[in-house]
Structure 1
Amino acid sequence: MLATYVPRDSPVHRLPAGVKLTGLVLAGLGTVLLGRWWQSLLLLACVAGLYGVARLTWRCLAVQLRAVALLVAAIGVLQIVVAGWERAVVTCGNLLALVALAALVSLTTRTDDLIEVVVRGSGPLRRFGVEPERVGLLVSLGIRSVPVVARLAGEVRDAQLARGAATRPVAFLVPLVVRSLRHADRVGEALIARGVDD
């Protein structure tokens, strides 16, 4: 689930969206250079400190990390078996730090500001036939579709529980995909009706 903007008066909130997105990209690239377990834990501590600077609670940070906890745990077990505990700490620490940092950008930046940066950043691609406004629309629709798909997943799960059906992955995924495609069709029809073409 994408984090939603939380209004606060903090230095992190006041940073321009472009600076925050650039920092996120550089942090992602920088994790390649982190090879020691203590470096990854230091990065994680720095990100946690940024949550404090942004005047966001520890609970807010925990909610962001809880969403990927099972995936990170599975990766960690695999890394311990294959490469040892130090590599597991590096991999999982970097992953948690980047997820928390991406969530921090979302929590401290309005969606419209993020989309404006994406549109401006896509400007040079215009010479290759890419329309920056369409890229912005695509990003906007993607962001706004996440809670819709999450709601559809909840409805499918509730329907299965009400029928007493087994929670097999296929039995869950097929109705979710069908409902998501129907939603996408409705969005497409709405865009065509507003003159965005097909």
Structure 2
Amino acid sequence: MLTLISPTETPLHRMPACLKLGAVAAGTVLALRVTSLPGTAGLLAGLGLTLLALGPGFARQAGQHLLALWPVVAIILIWHGWSGHWTAGAVVAGRMVFAIGLATLMTMTTRLADLLALAERGLAPLARLGMNPRAIALAMALVIRFTPVLLDKAAALRQAWQARSPKRPRTAIALPLALAALDDADHVAEALRARGGL
């Protein structure tokens, strides 16, 4: 969801964000009702065919995002295998990959501004409780925007540490990273105040 929007134009790019979010919710509910290995395989096959139908480049990009799930899938399979429930583990892992695949498909075809506008409309009832839906949507946008920035800063700090020491950084970069995050937050707050805030 950070910068997942795909440059490959597909028919899904032109669909309203609310319809895609509804489809993700319905697909996830459907996946939770599937309890058999063949059913889970069918879900994953359907997801794969959908991605391929949107183009090989699009499918490759989505596959790279989903490949990041392999450690979680491995832990689920190992845990269930150790307890003697391989089939249940495969079903759980398959359903998780399917649900995250649907969410990835939505975020690859939906602009972040559209998702945040949808979130703001969904949070509108909170205004009756004295909360500001726009502020919550903005907070979500800032988290999404600054997560990759903080990951880049953490990587730079790790490289700087490795250039000066043969030891692994472990928690040594936690404090500098926290200070960098606070500094960024301070600059963003000043920029928001300068533009009138919320």
Range of TM-score over shorter length: 0.7 to 0.9
Q: TM-score, normalised by structure 2?
A: 0.86
Cα pair distance change 1:51/1:84, threshold 3 Å: same
Is the contact made by 2:6 and 2:58 (CA closer than 8 Å) also made in structure 1? no
Is the contact made by 1:13 and 1:54 (CA closer than 8 Å) also made in structure 2? no
Take 1:35 and 1:83, find their aligned partners in 2: how far apart are those partners? 17
Deviates more, 1:187-196 or 1:145-154: 187-196
Shift of 1:193: 3.0
Identity of aligned residues (%): 31
1:115 equivalent in structure 2: 116
Take 2:3 and 2:194, find their aligned partners in 1: how far apart are those partners? 30
Residue correspondence of structure 1 range 118-129 to structure 2 within 5 A: 118-129=119-130
2:36 equivalent in structure 1: 36
1:65 equivalent in structure 2: 66
Residue correspondence of structure 1 range 1-198 to structure 2 within 5 A: 2-55=2-55, 56-167=57-168, 169-196=170-197
- Which runs of 5 or more structure 1 residues have no equivalent in the other structure? none
Q: 1:91-149 deviations in whole A, cap 9, x for unaligned?
A: 11111122222111111111111111111112222212222211221221122112212
Task: Flag as ranges the 4+ runs of structure 1 deviating above 4 A.
Answer: none
Is the contact made by 2:24 and 2:102 (CA closer than 8 Å) also made in structure 1? yes
Take 1:165 and 1:175, find their aligned partners in 2: how far apart are those partners? 19
Q: How many residues in Structure 1 have an aligned counterpart in Structure 2?
A: 197
Take 2:2 and 2:120, find their aligned partners in 1: how far apart are those partners? 20
Cα pair distance change 1:98/1:175, threshold 3 Å: farther
Take 2:70 and 2:23, find their aligned partners in 1: how far apart are those partners? 24
Shift of 1:83: 5.0
Cα root mean square deviation, aligned: 2.2
Take 2:95 and 2:12, find their aligned partners in 1: how far apart are those partners? 21
Deviates more, 1:26-35 or 1:63-72: 26-35
Residue 40 of structure 1 aligns with an amino acid whose one-letter code is T
Is the contact made by 2:154 and 2:177 (CA closer than 8 Å) also made in structure 1? yes
